[in-house]
Amino acid sequence: MRTAAPVPATADLMDTDSTAVSVHAPLRHYGGRTFLHGAVRTVLCHEDNALVRSLAAEPGHGRVLVVDGGGSPRAALVGGEVARNAAANGWSGIVVNGAVRDVAELRLVDLCVLALTTSPRRAERAGRGEVDVPVAFGGAVIVPGTEIVGDEDGLVLRPGGGDR
């Protein structure tokens, strides 16, 4: 049985892969894991997490859900329930350009969860937003299907590397 080669740390990727792009955002770790790797799926939404909840309930196949909430600290786009669903459905991680909540619960979930901040307020669930569109934050444009690697040093995109 052949196993996949281990994924290099983000610092090593930046040193050895000239196509690698670093995401410069002050993201903090909230989940039970500190490493993520996979092809990106995106959600663009503002203080509404209905689409995030829906995707977390689908099979993740080791992918990473990148949620661009415009950096809003006003409402949490991911909480304990969403993270547990994502972990149970095989997602590698969730990156939130915005807020999360249920921090004590998130620490217990076997999932890498990165976000800018926390908010006790839950997001609306009206279904406003877009799925699988390019999103831009942290000085990078994140395109669905792009390979992303995250660890305690940061996030790195490998353009053209998704679904390897």
CB 85 within 8 A of CB 58: no
Query: Is position 58 annotated in a ligand binding site?
Result: no
Q: Is 163 annotated as a binding residue?
A: no
Task: Kindly give the residue spans of alpha helices, DSSP state H, lying in the chain.
Answer: 10-16, 50-56, 80-88, 103-106
Backbone φ/ψ region at 67: left (φ over 0), alpha (ψ -120 to 50), beta: beta
Name the H helices within 31-127.
50-56, 80-88, 103-106
Residue 81 counted as an annotated binding residue: yes
Any known ligand binding at 79?
yes
Single-letter code of the amino acid located at 21: V
Number of other CB atoms surrounding residue 163 within 10 Å: 12
Encoded amino acid at 120, one letter: P
The pair of three-digit structure tokens given for residue 32, joined into one six-digit string: 């039970």
Distance of CA 9 to the CA centre of its chain: 17
Which residues does the annotation place in the binding site for substrate? 79-82, 101
Which residues does the annotation place in the binding site for Mg(2+)? 102
Which residues does the annotation place in the binding site? 79-82, 101-102
